[in-house]
Structure 1
C-alpha cells in the first residue's frame, strides 16, 4: 500500500517582498518521500490576474525529505514573483506527503507559519 497522496493543493502562497534583520523572508514546500524510488514533484502555480506558471519540477530521493524554496522554482526562466498572492498544485510521480512553510521576516517580530497541504484523493 502506498503512503501519501500524489496531488496536493496549497491555496495561499506568498513570498514576502522584504526582510528585516538577519533572517530572509521565504517559503518552502516540504516533501517527504517514503517510497523506495526517487519521486519527481511538479509544481503548478496559479495567480489571480495572470497566466499560471506550469511544470516546475524537483526530485526527491527515496526515503528522504526535500525542502524546496519556492523562489528557486522556475518555468521557462520565469520565477514566482515576490509580493504577489498565488496558489500551488503539487503533483508527485508517486505518493508523497507535502507541507508548506512561510517565514515572514518583514518586521523585527518574525512570523513562521507551517501547515500540511490539502491532499486530493
Structure 2
C-alpha cells in the first residue's frame, strides 16, 4: 500500500480558552489533534509548540501504533511543560513515518459551545 500522509504538519492557530461553562472534563475547552497512522510501522511523533512572546517548547514525544489513530489534547501535553491556557500558540508535528493530522478546537467558554475542525497544513 502506498504511504498515506506526510511527515511534517503545521497548525498555526492554537488557543485554549481559560473559561469553561460545562462539566469537566467532558466539556473542557480544548485544542486536539487526531493522528492517523495508516502505515505498517509504528510512528514516533514529536510536537513543538511556538508562542508569540517566547521561545518554542518541546519536543513533546508520543507514539501512534501502525494502522491506528490517536487523539491528543494540547491541554494534556505536560512534558517538558504544560501549555498555558488563554494563550495563542502554534504547533509543528513531525513523524518518522507518514501520518495524517486533523486539528479540532472545542470552545466551551460560552453557553453556545463551538467546535471547528480542519486538516493541518502538510509541510513536506
Which category of TM-score, normalised to the shorter sequence, fits these structures? Answer: over 0.9
Name which of 78, 92, 96 aligns with 1:93.
96
Q: CA deviation at 1:79?
A: 1.0
The two structures have a TM-score, normalised by structure 1, of 0.95
The two structures have a TM-score, normalised by structure 2, of 0.92
Unaligned runs of 5+ in 2: none
The answer on 1:12 being equivalent to 2:13 is yes
> Alignment partner of 1:27: what SS?
strand
1:74 and 1:6 mapped to 2: Cα distance? 23
Alignment RMSD, CA only? 1.0
Equivalent residue for 1:38?
42
Equivalent residue for 1:104?
107
1:21 and 1:45 mapped to 2: Cα distance? 27
1:75 and 1:24 mapped to 2: Cα distance? 20
Unaligned runs of 5+ in 1: none
Q: CA deviation at 1:101?
A: 0.4
The answer on 1:81 being equivalent to 2:84 is yes
The answer on 1:26 being equivalent to 2:30 is yes
